[in-house]
Amino acid sequence: MLTSSSHAIPELEIAGMPAVTHLRRTHRLSQQLLDHLAGDNGAEPAATMPCGVVRREAAEVVAGCLELVAAALQGRAVGDVPERLHSRIEDWAAEGVALEAVQHATHLGFRFVLELLAGRAHGADGPMMVAAGQRLAEVLDRIITGFTRAYLRELRANTAARHAGAEALAAALIAGAGTAETARENGFRNADSYAVLALALPGAAHDAADAGYDRTGARRRLRRLRTELCVGGDMPPARLSEAGGTVLVPRYRDDDVAVTRLFERLRVAARSPLLATVVHARREEIPDATRRAHELLDLAQRLHRPARLYRLADLAVEYQITRPGPARRRLATALDPLLSQPELLHTLATHLANDRNRQLTARALYIHANTLDYRLRRIAHHTGLDPAHADDLWHLQAALVANAYETDPAVGGPIVVPVEQESAKHPGPAGADPAGPDQRARELLAEAAGVGIG
């Protein structure tokens, strides 16, 4: 912590002369300092510093910093970093020079100056060296703060412009108006084909007014995803919100490596389960591909599929079953005989959700395995479809998928099953799900439909 003692002496003296005298030959000192930072060790100076900065520009910044140091050693008030240095640092930020490299070089430079003064000091100059260290620390704080502010100002402006360009290009492509010229105008490379990535973020179903909705967490998750999209300098066009959105990944090769890697990066950045679907398309096909990708995403959500990346091949059968029409309506009616038998419907959903494992299903329903067998026989009797037979089982699972859409296409919820209070008859273990049986039945139906059809 700096103390007022650093300004108790108007001008510091070291070795019997003003301390600033040891720094008078500013140009020569700047070159020595640059050699020290570059590690040239007597070799011919390179035109570019190790961090990528042009040596001539680095010399300008070093000279400006030494002027501030000289003012502090003379006891003058330390001013803000000059605007010309701010402008130079902003240039470096725009050109991709790492902020940590600039900060590290700045610290090394101040250490170099302090060691130079210490080398000239005599034994009695201890208090002066302490004061010199305090003044140098004050200047270093001003410079580091100023440099960081300049970097942040440039990066924020550049990031906002990149996101705006990415969203504008994505909107044009999704609307079918994207061209090579549109890509260039927004600062992106042109691509003839894309992978359309539809994303769903956790909590998207909550209304903003819902007490359980974590708006702060959602905003932070969205910020992390947008930041991750900027990594590597090849940001894909994207339209994102707190609920999810669409990312258009340019395809320069005929494989899915880029899409898979991007999804993994986004999943890590989200710090929560991420559900996504991908559809490949040429540029002129993007509007239809976007609609299809989000239809697949909606399907995966309705069927309670685990959060991961899905392709059309993963959901092809289920997707086809959910297409509107008389076939879907006819398929959904296979469950009609069970609507008046809620106990049987609940049993079927539970059995399919447990991958037809008798012991797991009986345990979940708190019934004996023989009772389960009896119920399955009753299901076969009422529907004409035996869950023990592969063909009939496929039909029942398909009916559950169709039911998830046919009963409430707008919301996508499965049919409401007024299940008997079975859990009340057979209390579950401590900590069991407190949700009502109706809600649990709805979840089981969706989970059963999402087991997979094959």
User: What's the domain count of the chain?
Assistant: 3
- Domain annotation covers residue 257: yes
Is the CB of residue 276 less than 8 Å from the CB of residue 198? yes
Query: What sign does the dihedral 428-433-438-442 (CA atoms) show?
Result: negative
Contact 38, 45 (CB under 8 A): yes
- The kind and range of the H/E element at 247 are strand 244-250
Q: Is residue 182 part of a domain?
A: no
Distance CA 338, CA 125 (A): 96
- Which CATH number goes with the domain that contains 348? 1.10.10
Asked whether residue 196 is assigned to any structural domain, the reply reads yes
> Is 62 a member of any domain?
yes
Q: Report which DSSP code applies to 203.
A: T
Ranges of beta strands (E only) in 302-400 are: 309-311
- CATH code, 78: 1.10.490
Residue 205: Cβ within 10 Å count: 10
Q: Contact, 270 vs 227, CB < 8 A? A: no
Selection from 275, 264, 265, 268 nearest residue 203 by Cα:
275
Residue written as tokens 């490299």? 101
pLDDT tens, residue order, the chain (454 aa)? 344 444 445 788 888 888 888 887 656 777 777 887 776 555 556 678 877 788 888 888 888 888 899 889 988 887 788 888 888 888 888 888 888 888 888 898 899 889 889 988 998 889 999 999 999 999 999 999 988 988 888 877 777 778 888 888 999 999 998 888 888 887 788 888 999 999 998 765 444 555 566 788 888 899 899 889 887 767 899 999 999 999 999 987 767 888 999 999 999 999 889 999 999 999 999 999 999 999 999 988 887 788 999 998 888 888 888 888 888 888 888 888 888 888 888 898 888 888 889 999 999 999 999 999 999 999 999 999 998 888 888 888 888 888 777 765 444 443 333 333 333 344 444 344 444 444 544 554 555 555 555 5
Answer yes or no: do 254 and 126 share one domain.
Answer: no
**Any idea how long the chain is?**
454
Q: Is 183 exposed, middle or buried (0-12, 13-18, 19+ CB in 10 A)?
A: buried
The pTM assigned to this predicted structure is: 0.61
Query: Residue 448: which of 404, 418, 417, 409 has the closest Cα?
Result: 404
* 247 and 371 within one domain: no
Residue 163 lies in a domain: no
Amino acid at 283: R
Q: Which residues contact 320 (CB under 8 A, 6 or more apart)?
A: none
Q: Are 262 and 232 in contact (CB under 8 A)?
A: no
Domain containing 94: what range?
4-156
Q: Which of 103, 134, 156 is the last residue of a domain?
A: 156
183 inside domain: no
Residues 405 and 342 in one domain: yes
Q: State how beta strands 309-311 and 275-282 pair.
A: parallel
Bridge partners, 169 (sequence order): none
DSSP annotation of 239: E
